[in-house]
Amino acid sequence: MQKSYYEKPRYKLYQANCLDILKELPENSVDMIFADPPYFLSSGSFTCQNGKMVSVKKGDWDLSNGTKKNFEFHVEWIKACRRVLKPNGTIWISGTYHSVYQCGFALEVNKYHFLNDIAWFKPNASPNLSCRFFTASHETLLWAKKGERAKHTFNYEQMKNGDWTEDQLKKPGLQMRSVWSINTPKPIEKKFGKHPTQKSFDLLKRIVMASTNKGDLILDPFTGSSTTGLAAYLYGRNFIGIDTEKQYLDLSIKRFEELDKNMKNKQQSFIKNNYENNYKNNSDK
Ligand SMILES: C[S@@+](CC[C@H](N)C(=O)[O-])C[C@H]1O[C@@H](n2cnc3c(N)ncnc32)[C@H](O)[C@@H]1O
């Protein structure tokens, strides 16, 4: 097995093409996969971020190789994920229309069974500069299991009755629905540096809480700044993250070490200010 780039109890990172690590991991060993693959939308054009014009190039890893090759890539990594997922495990895939239909079809080709497609509505999404079409303000999250009969984890009560006050659409005490209103990452989540497609901690918290239990193993094959890893670690799960880019793994390490230090020192106020209002140390709420 390839040597890890960084390893602490419950938190491991690999610098590699995810396909190389996925083929080395044991079969049926992972409880949940969260994957935020390249959307392949980088080009030479511009978009508006915080009122400024910025180039639409996230990195070479996000450049499109054409529809057919992009699709083949999604089929391949989604197939590799199926091998490592436990029989009752689940996979989440995030994307916009640039990639999510391809990923959805790739899930079907690999015989997964869909549980939900979640619309992640971003109330604070950047405005559209061209004013020639609607302002993109959501992403889609696909959630699937290995087969129709698989007994997947869904923490229904916690979704229904938990404190989800960051979401203006979630009504207290009513079922959690498939449209989630969650802001883009807070500035404090980027204090060690920016990943161009960083996910919100609140989004990953919800995914981890909904579909895993304490002690479960969560894998993120495109870990970036490891938002998934932070949510996994904070709530007592185990984590493996993979990324090709050293700079993102170094960012992941800084984020992890700060969280770990504050958890060990039982710094409730740090966790409250940086992550959430209702964290109880060692809780599995
Ligand atoms: C959309 S970003 C993920 C961002 C992440 N969810 C976060 O919160 O920071 C996709 C990541 O996949 C990485 N990547 C692209 N192709 C990869 C591959 N074949 N194997 C592993 N990582 C890859 C990129 O370097 C990038 O960091």
Is 285 domain-assigned? Answer: no
Number of the ligand 1 atom closest to the C-alpha atom of 39: 1
Å from CA of 18 to ligand 1 middle = 9
Å from CA of 202 to ligand 1 middle = 19
Is 205 domain-assigned? Answer: yes
Å from CA of 195 to ligand 1 middle = 10
Indicate if ligand 1 lies below 6 Å from the C-beta of 5.
Answer: no
Structural domain of 23: 6-274
Number of domains in the chain: 1
Å from CA of 226 to ligand 1 middle = 9
d(CA 196, CA 73): 21
- Model pTM score: 0.93
Of the two residues 285 and 247, the one the predictor is more confident about is 247
Q: What is the dihedral of CA 255, 196, 108, 152, to 10 degrees?
A: 20
d(CA 109, CA 106): 5
pLDDT, the chain, mean: 93
User: What tens digit of pLDDT does each residue of 77-110 get?
Assistant: 999 999 999 999 999 999 999 999 999 999 999 9
Å from CA of 39 to ligand 1 middle = 10
Centre a 10 Å sphere on the Cβ of residue 210 and count the other Cβ atoms it contains: 21
Is 225 domain-assigned? Answer: yes
Is 55 domain-assigned? Answer: yes
Rounded mean pLDDT, 23-52: 86
**Which residue shows structure tokens 């883009």?**
184
User: What tens digit of pLDDT does each residue of 105-152 get?
Assistant: 999 999 999 999 999 999 999 998 889 999 999 999 999 999 999 999
Is 180 domain-assigned? Answer: yes
User: What tens digit of pLDDT does each residue of 218-271 get?
Assistant: 999 999 999 999 999 999 999 999 999 999 999 999 999 999 999 988 777 888
Is 145 domain-assigned? Answer: yes
Terminal CA-CA length for the chain: 35
Is 174 domain-assigned? Answer: yes
Is 284 domain-assigned? Answer: no
Indicate if ligand 1 lies below 6 Å from the C-beta of 38.
Answer: yes
pLDDT for position 121:
98
Indicate if ligand 1 lies below 6 Å from the C-beta of 34.
Answer: no
- CATH number (domain holding residue 46): 3.40.50.150
Confidence of residue 44 (pLDDT cuts 50, 70, 90): low
pLDDT for position 164:
96
Closest CA to 195 of 230, 143, 233: 230
